[in-house]
A = this chain, B = another copy of it.
Amino acid sequence: MNARDRLPDAAQLAWRAQRVRQATLAMLAGLSAEDCLLQSMPEASPVKWHVAHVTWFFETFVLEPREPGFRPYDASFRELFNSYYVGVGARHPRGQRGLLSRPPLERVLGYQETVLQRLLDWLERGAADPQALALIELGLQHEQQHQELIATDLKHHFWHNPALPAWRPAREGAREDPGALTFRRYPAELAQAGHDGEGFAFDNESPRHRVWLEAFELAQRPVVNAEYLAFVEDGGYERPELWLSDGWDACRREGWQAPLYWLRQDGGWHTYTCAGLRPLNGAEPVCHVSYYEAEAYARWAGARLPSELEWEHAARQAGGVQDGDFAESGHFHPRPLEPGHSAFFGSVWEWTQSAYLPYPGFAPAAGAVGEYNGKFMINQMVLRGGSCATPASHIRPSYRNFFWPAARWQFSGIRLAR
């Protein structure tokens, strides 16, 4: 974490910790213990595991080194719910998280409740040093990240059930017309990039640094399904000349014909949403595309993807994040775009053509927490702006998300540049 300027206040943190936990619990509404055990691929964890892991983070990094007379809730959890922190020790194999029927869901909920209570008690005793407060802040941000993963992972798990379960209320989706795609021009300049020091940010958003941007144009909204469908119908998935070489290999190997969760049925395209299978809505931002698809689409459209710093530069000028389409709605599906809605924030993550690499002068935090971001800076591409499954309080212009270019199970979409 990097919140050096303004440290969070203990009381405020305590209040937020309870709010964040409420949001995590709200993710579980309507889910059974069986649902929470599903794991459809190594990269997508069970809901139960996510809940345990966000708790583990607080217990391991905050309580264990500080709580007087610390005793672990369950000594076996240290290994079971460690994700990838080699500095903490052994880790249960990622691909086998779905085999942990025990501890049962109930015990994991008790774990979360107990650790939160102990954290609050400890905070109340006023013993928290600045580093501890920063770690708690990091833990809350971490929990919010996992809230989004609960949505995307569960959607992937349920996709493997032929019944295509709906677990979220459907939205009355007016079939808006977002209007023609327009571009705005940004002149060349030596810009500032990275976190500016106000509020929390992850270490990978720092240091703030200068970057020379040549003049560019950026689309004023994401690509919508109707536009992407034209690419599909124009043979986009059959024309290797539109694709990166690795992208074409992935397309053939995986048999891609359309974005993930699109199904051709009864003569028309449908898409699986958290509210079940629905006819494709042309006005919604296209999502669940890989970087490869986004890049091929852009080439087909005579454009390109923006760099992450072009995106950041433009997004800072676009105004705040307040009008976005975020997790708080509880739908976990992007709304149709209305004319004039730029949707820089929320709605869908936007692939950039930037590889996920350290900023000049980047230094990870000391200790195991330093593994949070830095060690993943290879083979992944940056996405920006948050999605319909991101909590609104969790996003900002400098936020860097990252996935490998074939990943499709996130709410990932496309904004064109040129």
Of all chain B residues, the one with the shortest Cβ separation from A159 is B99
Most buried by B among A157, A360, A377: A360
Establish whether residues B162 and A92, one from each chain, have CB atoms under 8 Å apart when the complex forms: yes
Establish whether residues A87 and B361, one from each chain, have CB atoms under 8 Å apart when the complex forms: no
Asked if A161 is an interface residue, CB under 8 A from chain B, the answer is yes
Hey, which chain B residues are within 8 Å of A353, CB to CB? 357-358
The docked-state distance in angstroms from the alpha carbon of A405 to that of B360 is 20
Hey, which chain B residues are within 8 Å of A247, CB to CB? 378
- Per-residue B-contact encoding for A351-364, CB less than 8 Å = 1, 0 else: 00111011011000
Interface size on A, residues (CB 8 A): 61
Most buried by B among A33, A190, A212, A379: A379
Of all chain B residues, the one with the shortest Cβ separation from A310 is B360
Stretch at the interface among A137-145, A236-244, A312-320, A334-342: A236-244
Asked if A165 is an interface residue, CB under 8 A from chain B, the answer is yes
Hey, which chain B residues are within 8 Å of A76, CB to CB? 162-163
Establish whether residues A98 and B98, one from each chain, have CB atoms under 8 Å apart when the complex forms: yes
Hey, which chain B residues are within 8 Å of A35, CB to CB? 101-102
| Nearest CB of chain B from residue A156's CB, rounded to whole Å | 10
Asked if A388 is an interface residue, CB under 8 A from chain B, the answer is no
Hey, which chain B residues are within 8 Å of A266, CB to CB? none
| Nearest CB of chain B from residue A369's CB, rounded to whole Å | 12
Asked if A245 is an interface residue, CB under 8 A from chain B, the answer is yes
Hey, which chain B residues are within 8 Å of A163, CB to CB? 76, 102
Copies in the complex: 4
Establish whether residues B80 and A376, one from each chain, have CB atoms under 8 Å apart when the complex forms: no
Given contacts A162-B79, A212-B190, contact A246 B378 (CB under 8 A): yes
Given contacts A37-B37, A99-B157, A163-B76, contact A104 B32 (CB under 8 A): yes
- Per-residue B-contact encoding for A192-231, CB less than 8 Å = 1, 0 else: 0000000000000000011110101000000000000000
The docked-state distance in angstroms from the alpha carbon of A216 to that of B96 is 44
* Interchain CB contact (< 8 A) of A244 among B101, B245, B378: B378
| Nearest CB of chain B from residue A275's CB, rounded to whole Å | 15
| Nearest CB of chain B from residue A151's CB, rounded to whole Å | 16
Interface residues in A280-309 (C-beta closer than 8 Å to B): 291-292, 295, 304, 307
Asked if A134 is an interface residue, CB under 8 A from chain B, the answer is no
The docked-state distance in angstroms from the alpha carbon of A35 to that of B304 is 45
Interface residues of A (CB under 8 A from B): 32-35, 37-38, 40, 76, 79-80, 84, 86-87, 92, 96, 98-102, 104-105, 157, 160-163, 165, 190, 209-212, 214, 216, 240-241, 243-247, 291-292, 295, 304, 307, 353-355, 357-358, 360-361, 371, 375-379, 405
> Nearest 4 CB-CB pairs, A to B?
A355-B355, A34-B101, A212-B212, A99-B160
| 14 A-B pairs in the complex with CB atoms less than 8 angstroms apart | A38-B99, A40-B99, A80-B162, A190-B190, A210-B214, A212-B212, A214-B360, A214-B361, A216-B360, A244-B376, A246-B376, A353-B357, A355-B355, A379-B379
